[in-house]
Amino acid sequence: MQRRRLKRILIGAFATCAVLADAGAAAAQAAASNEQVAITTPPPGSAAWVQDHSLGRPLPDPANAEPAAVAAFFAALTPAQQDRLARAYPLVVGNLDGAPLQLRYQANALAVSQEVAHAKAQAADTSLDATQHALAVSRANDCQALLTPGRQILSFDPRGRGLASEVFGDLATAQRVAVIVPGSDTDLGHFDRTLEPLRSPDGMARALRAEEQRQAPGTRTAVVAWTGYVTPVGLGPDAVTSRLADAGAPRLQRLLAGLAVTSSPSAPPALFCHSYGSVVCGTVAPGLRGETTDLVVLGSPGMGVSSAQELGTAVHVWATRNPSDWIGNVPYLEVGGLGHGADPTGADFGAEEISSAGAAGHMGYFADGTASLHNFAAIALGDYQSVSYRTG
| Long-range contacts from 16-23, C-beta under 8 angstroms, 24+ separation | 17/329, 17/330, 17/331, 18/235, 18/326, 18/327, 18/329, 18/330, 19/235, 20/329, 21/326, 21/327, 21/328, 21/329, 21/330, 22/326, 22/361, 22/362
Residues of the chain with CATH 3.40.50.1820: 2-39+160-386
Are the C-beta atoms of 365 and 345 separated by less than 8 Å? no
Give CA–CA dist 20/295, Å, rounded: 30
Give CA–CA dist 11/239, Å, rounded: 9
Question: Right CATH number for 2-39+160-386 from 3.40.980.10, 3.40.50.300, 3.40.50.1820, 3.40.630.10?
Answer: 3.40.50.1820
Phi first, then psi, for residue 66 (nearest 5°) are -70, 140
- Which strands make up the sheet holding 315-320, listed edge to edge? 152-157, 163-169, 221-227, 176-181, 270-274, 293-298, 315-320, 352-353
Q: How far is CA 71 from CA 97, 110, 244, 364, in A?
A: 8, 21, 28, 38
Is residue 234 left, alpha or beta, with left meaning phi > 0 and alpha meaning psi from -120 to 50? left
Kindly give the confidence (pLDDT) of every residue in the chain, 392 residues in length, as a single tens digit, with 9 standing for 90 and above.
444 444 444 544 454 444 333 433 443 444 344 789 999 999 999 999 999 999 999 999 999 999 999 999 999 999 999 999 999 999 999 999 999 999 999 999 999 999 999 999 999 999 999 999 999 999 999 999 999 999 999 999 999 999 999 999 999 999 999 999 999 999 999 999 988 999 999 999 999 999 999 999 999 999 999 999 999 998 788 999 999 999 999 999 999 999 999 999 999 999 999 999 999 999 999 999 999 999 999 999 999 999 999 999 999 999 999 999 999 998 898 888 899 999 999 999 999 999 999 999 999 999 999 999 999 999 999 999 999 998 86
Amino acid at site 389: Y
Task: Name the 3-class secondary structure at 77.
Answer: coil
Are the C-beta atoms of 128 and 135 separated by less than 8 Å? no
* Element (DSSP H or E) covering residue 94: helix 90-94
